[in-house]
Amino acid sequence: MPPRANPLKLNALQLKTLVLFQELARHPETSTRTESGEVFLSALPHPHGNHFHVGRKVVMSKDASGLANGAVWVALERKGLIRASFPMAVTLTPAGLDYETGITDEILHGSDH
pLDDT per residue as tens digits for the range 85-109 = 999 999 999 999 999 999 999 999 9
- Look at 1-5, 43-47, 90-94 and tell me which has the smallest mean pLDDT: 1-5
2, 18, 45, 52, 61 from 80: Cα distances, Å: 21, 12, 23, 27, 26
Cα–Cα distance for residue pair 61/78, rounded to 1 Å: 25
Residue 51: how many other CB atoms lie within 10 Å: 15
Choose among 107, 112, 109, 113: nearest CA to 17: 107
Amino acid at 33: R
Model confidence at 34, pLDDT cuts 50, 70, 90, reads: very high
Beta strands, E only, 1-113: 31-33, 39-41, 51-54, 57-60, 82-85, 89-92, 109-110
Domain boundary assignment for the chain: 12-110
User: What confidence tier does 1 reach under pLDDT thresholds 50, 70, 90?
Assistant: low
Distance between CA 107 and CA 109 in Å, rounded?
6
Band (pLDDT 50/70/90 cuts) for residue 111 is: low
At residue 113, does pLDDT exceed 60?
A: no
Q: If pLDDT is split at 50, 70 and 90, which confidence band does 47 have?
A: confident
Identify the CATH number of the domain defined by range 12-110. Answer: 1.10.10.10
Least confident among 11-15, 69-73, 75-79, 107-111 = 107-111
